[in-house]
Structure formats: C-alpha cells, structure tokens
Chains A and B, each alone.
Chain A
Amino acid sequence: MKPDVPVVMRGLFGTMLMEIAPNLTAEYSAGSIGIMSMMIFMTAEEYDRAAEIRAAENAEMRALFAGAAGLVADAALKAKLSEAAKGRDASLRVSALDKDNSALAGLLIELQAHVEESTAPWSAGLEARIWDYLVAAADRRKLNFPALG
C-alpha cells in the first residue's frame, strides 16, 4: 500500500486536528475528534511495529520458560513451562500473535507468583529475570504522544 500506512495515518491526524476539529461547533464532537486523531497518530507507529513486538515478547517468554522449567520443583508448573517453551508462532498475523501472547502472559503470571514465594537459591535470579523481561516489554510498547503546539 502506497502511500505508506504510517504516512497516511499521520496525515489524517494532522487534518483531523488542525482542519476538522476547529470547524466543529459541537464541543463534544470537537473533543472526540481530538481523541480520535491522537489514536490515529499512535496507530501509525503501532501498525509498523506490532508484529515485531509481539513476536519478540513471545520468543523471550518461551526462552524464560525454558530456563525456568529446569529450576522449578513443582511438577505441574514444570510441565506447563516445558510445553510452552516448545511452542512457536504459527502465524505473523497480529491477532494470532496476540492469542499466543495472552496464553504466555497467563503462564508468566503463574510462574512469577510461584517464584515470589520461593526461597530456593535460584529464585532471586529468576525473579530478576522475569522483571527484566517485564520492564523491557513495557518500554518496548511505549506509545509516543504527538508533540502539539
């Protein structure tokens, strides 16, 4: 698709905010257009990076689970971690990556809660590794706010 989707999105953002919103007389509608334009601006960035972010997160969580499976003693959790670690993203569609991402995030919650309660020698290191992942994931998903004015 040309022009590139992010280029079009940013163009729509500018038109909505600078040309359409000031000409709306209904206050609530003007406010809504402002919000919609911000979201279109954010979509421009997300369109380009969405698949990469999700694929990276899924790979990192699987790697984390592979390491954790060799540490935790709880047999049921160990089995779930081993199974999840073997998985692969079957499709690069964002909806498919999101589905895998949700399943992996659910298991990550279970693992983190388990590790927090553990006093095993490996627990501090694994807890730190989980937080390193969560911080990196949150930073990677940062949405930029358009600079206005």
Chain B
Amino acid sequence: MEDLAPRIAAYLAHRMPAASHVEVSGVSRIPGGASRETYRLTATWKEGGKEMRRPLILRRDPVASLIETERDVEFNAYRAFHPTGLPVPEPLFLETDLKWLDRPFFVMEQIENCQAGSPFNAAPYGPFAERIGAQFWTHLGRIAAADPVKTGFAANMKAIAPEECWKHELDKWEKVIDEDELVPQPVARAAIRWLRRNPPPPPPRVTAVHGDYRTGNFLFDGEGTIRAILDWEMCHLGDPLEDVAWAADPLWAFQQTERPGGMIARAEAFRLWEEASGMKIDPIRLRWWEIFNSLKGLAIWISSGNEYQSGASSDPILAFPSWYCTDVHNRVLAHRLAALSKEARA
C-alpha cells in the first residue's frame, strides 16, 4: 500500500508556512463516503514555539466511484455551512494540483470519538433513536431554511428556477441510467415515464439540497448528539423536499416507512422539519420526490454496478449496492407504481 504520510506532510508544510517539523501519522483509510477515498490521520507540527497536533480527514478523488462528483462542490458546502453552526467539519484545504497526491483532494477537521449508524440496521441508533431523530430532522430543516446565496453555498452553482428543479434532477439521473445500465430496467423506465407525466408543483423557494442526507451519513457521539453531517458530494440547488424524501426513503433501516431511517415517527419527523425550515410539506410534491428518490437510488446502484463490471474498480462497496440496493428500490418502486397505475386507470 502506498505510504501517503510523507506526501501529506509535505503538502501540509506547503499550506502552513508558519509551521515547521510537520509530521503525519496514523494514516488509515476508513469506510464510508464511497465516492471518495477517505483517510483518517493526525498532523503534528511546531508553530510559534508550541507543539501542535490536529486530527484530520483527507478525502481524495478515487480512480472509480459510486458517483462522479466534483470535490470543490462538496468542499464549498462545508465552507458554507460550518460558520452557520450546523454540525459540519471545518474545511481546511482544497487541492487540485495532482503533484501532491496524484489526484485532487481536500482536507478537513476530524471529528473524534464519534460513530456513524449503519443504514442496513433496523435500529442503527439504539437508545438514542428519539434524541438523534429529533436533531436529524431539525438539522435538515435548518439546511432548507438557510439562504444558499448568503451562506455562499450557491457560489459557482448555476441558478435554477423553482419550476425547473424536478426536471433538472430527473434529466440528470435518467442520463446516468441511459449511460450505465447493464440490462434493461423496466421498473426504472416506468418510473421515469410516470415522473414525466406527473410533474410536481414547484417549491416555494430554491434551497440548498444535501443530496445524500440519510442514516449513515452523519456522526454522533456517546451522548447521542449529532456532531458532523457528512458526505455532501451530491449537494446542489433544488427543491428541499428532495432531501426530505431521501432521508425518509424505505431503503434505510429496512423499510420502516413509519419510522424512517430507524429514528423517530414519520409524522413527528416531518413536523420538526416544517418547524425548522419554515415550510410546509406538500404531500403531492413529496410523493413525486419519494418516487424520484427511489429512481435516483436505482441510478446510483446501476452506475456503481457498471463501474465494477467494467473493471474500473474491484472495490466491493461498488458491487454490493448494485445487488442489494437495486433489489430493494426495484421492489419499492414496482409496488408503488403498480398501485398508482391502478388508481389512474380506475
């Protein structure tokens, strides 16, 4: 395995001109954030006569990934939300020069002594389910409430009109399926046709959308406090109900539709989101985004399967969702669309 420590130390010394004797230890690749290689490490250095130490996270672009995303979009999301008090790690350095680590990367604060719940666990938060659930949905409401221009989230993003949000996202993910499907996908294609025939009403305003806000993508401590909302690589401007529907998607925590993500009751979750966001959840819009998100999931899993099958990567994290998650989302969509078809024909 490549020894990244001296190369990272050289980079940090370059970025911190006031520091001397920069050393990096404990470099360990960690699971999670499948679209980037994620490393935990500790940096030590001398500065102003003092010994300094800081645990860090380095996220490097992969050779192949679950989803192809721009690292500067993710880095900028951390930069936009960190000053707002939302629990996100402090972003430190973004680097696109390949001379340092062969691929682009960014460095951010490491949140220590925390864990992430597994999305494939019926009770991912154990006794903290209620406490974490309340924070989870309130934080999501705060993301929706934040002005994406004032926070800087929208910097370098193309503006989008409220009535265009749905089409923009549907076009994007349909293209992924078009390009990456290994076999014909009757359920996904039926979903795309349904989504186009039944466009949702526009959101009251365009907001920051995390894009992958769910069980497993945040860290909590031993007191049940959410300390870091992670994995912003799919963030964009859009309809805030996209995040609500993804967070409540049946895939997480084994299809507990009335207790999404294995946390709190759906009705209470949505009440907390409405309170924090200042917006109401329109059930017609929500239904559209729920079906869309199961399709988006399929697109991601189809794409990851393609990466594995093509030989671009042999990481099992790309093969597993193409089996298991495709199976779940196909089933969820088939049942849901069959019922909608019968309703429409009745």
Asked if A and B bind, the verdict is yes
| Complex-state Cα separation, A125 to B334, whole angstroms | 17
- Nearest Cβ distance between residue A29 and chain B, in whole angstroms? 8
- Nearest Cβ distance between residue A53 and chain B, in whole angstroms? 12
| A135 lies within 8 A of B334 (CB) | yes
- Residue B187 is within 8 A (CB to CB) of chain A in the complex: yes
| B183 lies within 8 A of A36 (CB) | no
Flag the segment in B98-106, B237-245, B337-345 that touches A.
Answer: B337-345
- Chain A residues in 8 Å Cβ range of B201: none
- Residue B270 is within 8 A (CB to CB) of chain A in the complex: no
Given contacts A27-B31, A116-B193, contact A138 B330 (CB under 8 A): yes
Name the 9 nearest CB pairs between A and B, nearest first.
A31-B31, A131-B338, A28-B29, A105-B184, A138-B334, A106-B184, A124-B345, A138-B331, A35-B316
Q: 1/0 per residue A76-93: CB within 8 Å of B?
A: 000000000000000000
| A128 lies within 8 A of B341 (CB) | yes
- Chain A residues in 8 Å Cβ range of B345: 124, 127-128
- Nearest Cβ distance between residue A128 and chain B, in whole angstroms? 6
| A142 lies within 8 A of B327 (CB) | yes
- Residue A95 is within 8 A (CB to CB) of chain B in the complex: no
| Complex-state Cα separation, A28 to B29, whole angstroms | 6
- Chain B residues in 8 Å Cβ range of A108: 184, 186
- Residue B335 is within 8 A (CB to CB) of chain A in the complex: yes
- Residue B93 is within 8 A (CB to CB) of chain A in the complex: no
Give the contacting residue for B342; candidates A101, A131, A143; CB below 8 A: A131
- Residue B190 is within 8 A (CB to CB) of chain A in the complex: yes
| Complex-state Cα separation, A106 to B185, whole angstroms | 8
- Chain A residues in 8 Å Cβ range of B121: 148
| B189 lies within 8 A of A109 (CB) | yes
| Complex-state Cα separation, A28 to B317, whole angstroms | 10
| A39 lies within 8 A of B316 (CB) | yes
Q: 1/0 per residue B321-333: CB within 8 Å of A?
A: 0011001001100
With CB as the reference atom, state the residue of chain B lying closest to A29: B29
| A39 lies within 8 A of B338 (CB) | no
| Complex-state Cα separation, A26 to B28, whole angstroms | 7
With CB as the reference atom, state the residue of chain B lying closest to A36: B316
| Complex-state Cα separation, A101 to B186, whole angstroms | 12
* A 119-144 contacts with B by CB, 8 A: 124, 127-128, 131-132, 134-135, 137-139, 141-143
Residues of A in contact with B, size category: 35 or more
Give the contacting residue for A143; candidates B40, B327, B338; CB below 8 A: B327
Given contacts A134-B186, A134-B187, A135-B335, contact A39 B323 (CB under 8 A): yes
Given contacts A26-B28, A27-B31, contact A134 B327 (CB under 8 A): no
- Chain B residues in 8 Å Cβ range of A31: 30-31, 317
- Chain A residues in 8 Å Cβ range of B327: 138, 141-143
Q: 1/0 per residue A58-81: CB within 8 Å of B?
A: 000000000000000000000000
A-B contacts at CB below 8 angstroms, number: 92
Residues in chain B within 8 A of chain A (CB atoms): 28-31, 40, 120-121, 183-187, 189-190, 193, 254, 315-317, 319-320, 323-324, 327, 330-331, 334-335, 337-338, 341-342, 345
| B31 lies within 8 A of A28 (CB) | yes
- Chain A residues in 8 Å Cβ range of B186: 105, 108-109, 112, 134
- Residue A20 is within 8 A (CB to CB) of chain B in the complex: no
- Nearest Cβ distance between residue B322 and chain A, in whole angstroms? 10
With CB as the reference atom, state the residue of chain A lying closest to B346: A124
Give the contacting residue for A113; candidates B120, B193, B337; CB below 8 A: B193
Given contacts A26-B28, A32-B315, A98-B183, contact A112 B334 (CB under 8 A): no
| B190 lies within 8 A of A42 (CB) | no
- Chain A residues in 8 Å Cβ range of B320: 35, 38-39
- Nearest Cβ distance between residue A102 and chain B, in whole angstroms? 5
| Complex-state Cα separation, A36 to B320, whole angstroms | 8
| Complex-state Cα separation, A134 to B30, whole angstroms | 38
| A112 lies within 8 A of B190 (CB) | yes
| A134 lies within 8 A of B324 (CB) | no
- Nearest Cβ distance between residue B217 and chain A, in whole angstroms? 15
Known: A28-B31, A105-B185, A134-B190. 20 other contacts (CB 8 A): A27-B29, A27-B40, A28-B28, A32-B316, A32-B317, A98-B183, A105-B183, A109-B190, A112-B186, A124-B345, A131-B338, A132-B338, A134-B187, A134-B334, A138-B187, A139-B331, A141-B327, A141-B331, A145-B254, A148-B121
Contacts A/B (CB < 8 Å), 28 sampled:
A26-B29, A28-B31, A35-B316, A35-B317, A35-B320, A36-B316, A38-B320, A39-B316, A42-B323, A42-B324, A98-B183, A101-B183, A102-B184, A105-B183, A109-B184, A109-B186, A109-B190, A113-B189, A127-B341, A127-B345, A128-B341, A132-B338, A134-B187, A135-B334, A138-B327, A138-B334, A143-B324, A145-B254
